Amino acid sequence: MRNPTFEVFSQGEEIVTGQVVDTNAAWLSQQAVAMGFNVTHHTTVGDKLEDLVQVLLDISARADCCICTGGLGPTSDDLTAEAVAKAFDIPLAFDEIAFSQIEQFFRNRNRQMPECNRKQAMLPQGSIRLANYKGTAPGFALQQGCCWFAFVPGVPSEMRHLFHEHIQTMLADRFVLQPSQLITIKTIGIGESDLQERISKIVIPPQVQLGFRAELGEVQTKLLFPGDYPQLQLENLAHQVASAIGDAVFAIDGFGHQSSDLVSVVDHLMAEKGHALAVVETISQGLLAAKMIGMPWLLSAVYEQSIATLTQRLSVKNHPDDLITTAKVLAGAVQKNTGANMVLIQLTSSAYYINPHDDKAVTVASTLLADGEYKHAVRSLAGDIKRKQHQAALLSLDLLRRYLQGKEII
């Protein structure tokens, strides 16, 4: 069975010129793929009537479904309804119900409705009105050529409201869909090329799409399975890939449980095992503690930019040439002062303090005291000060995750 094709058409000069990032297109595509559509195009056009008309005509001849965002506002540069009327030779008609909803929106806020908002009640004749209770712009839907179109505001909260309130159900009723299943294997401390190398000997069936996505703090290996793929084979392949990657895997999303980031994985494990943690950090400048904000198991967090100041503050001996020894004496003092059964210490080499804004590499050592034993992870981090800050926080958090999951400490 062929999955119906799906497109996203975004309108707005602010998107074309880069003043606004089009998060709508990404979000809509994710929803469409999850429902079982085959997403084929993202198209963006500025506020030019003739361009809008041409793209609408092109899409109507090639796509099964298209969601169009933006251009439904009250100002002169909002041209979507006019473009639909011109492209498909459909007159615009005043919608009394839409107008009353717009008026009610202003009454609810004790504001006078400007006359220009009347324009938003002019919808293509015969279209299906999509009531919008989050803003003033109603959406609308219609069939033209081989394509079913839905037109929604560009404001993300309003767009998502209309999708969940109206469009999702309409799509399920109109199309025979076989939802795909996306498995996302989340890793930390490993790059895309190394991931590709580790799984290179695994045979990925041609109907399964393999992809990678790198973002700050993690790299994801994605396996997109067609809806009719046997579940047992799906699980076997996903776990085979995860096993080949190894201990860098901290979570696998897509088997029905909630999506997990590194912090939520650590939170679950800490709460499950009843641990209490104290943290001392330097180069991450409080970011490590900030990632754990609100966690009941975080008993204490200390940040000092200087190791010398830190050791003086805790009345322990500084070993300037030995980060690990310094971390051990700090951990012992912190545990005595706080009563936490786990202590996480993060220190960085003296080279960092000479010029913190230098891009050159520095050594970062994370030490975990747990159950009377010390675990260490030492890495060399390069880049600007912000990158070092983030990477150092994640390195320390990953040391904690590896210990809690019984993984190898590297």
Between CA 342 and CA 331 the distance in angstroms is 9
As a whole number, the mean pLDDT across the chain is 93
The pTM of the full predicted model, rounded to 2 decimals, is 0.75
Between CA 28 and CA 26 the distance in angstroms is 6
**Token output for 323:** 């980060």
Q: Which candidate, 40, 31, 51, places its Cα nearest to that of 5?
A: 40
Tens digit of pLDDT for each residue in 146-192? Answer: 999 999 999 999 999 999 999 999 999 999 998 888 899 999 999 99
Tens digit of pLDDT for each residue in 10-42? Answer: 999 999 999 999 999 999 999 998 899 999 999
Asked whether the predicted pLDDT for residue 252 surpasses 90, the reply is yes
Rg (CA), the chain: 27
Between CA 10 and CA 354 the distance in angstroms is 49
Between CA 405 and CA 272 the distance in angstroms is 12
| One-letter amino acid for residue 383 of the chain | G
Between CA 203 and CA 220 the distance in angstroms is 19
35 Cβ contact partners less than 8 Å away, ≥ 6 residues apart: 168, 171, 172, 177, 179
| One-letter amino acid for residue 165 of the chain | E
Q: How many CA atoms lie within 13 A of 163 on its CB side?
A: 22
Calculate what percentage of the chain has a pLDDT beyond 90: 85
pLDDT band at 239 (very low <50, low <70, confident <90, very high): very high
Reported as type and span, the H/E element at residue 60 is: helix 49-62
Tens digit of pLDDT for each residue in 209-223? Answer: 999 999 877 999 999
Reported as type and span, the H/E element at residue 366 is: strand 362-370
pLDDT band at 321 (very low <50, low <70, confident <90, very high): confident
- Our CA angle for 219, 225, 227, nearest 5°, is 145
pLDDT band at 257 (very low <50, low <70, confident <90, very high): low
Yes or no: say if 102 and 121 are a contact pair by the CB < 8 Å rule. yes
Reported as type and span, the H/E element at residue 150 is: strand 147-152
Integer CA distances (angstroms), 165 to 26, 131, 295, in order: 19, 9, 34
Say which residue the tokens 């991931």 belong to: 195
Phi, psi of 296, rounded to the nearest 5 degrees: -65, -20
Please, which residues bridge with residue 211 across strands?
222
Asked whether the predicted pLDDT for residue 353 surpasses 80, the reply is no
Residue 258's pLDDT is what?
A: 66
Between CA 129 and CA 145 the distance in angstroms is 19
CA dihedral 39, 45, 51, 52 (to 10 degrees): 60
Q: Please give, one letter per residue, the 3-state secondary structure of 13-53.
A: HHHHCCCCCCHHHHHHHHHHHHHCCEEEEEEEECCCHHHHH
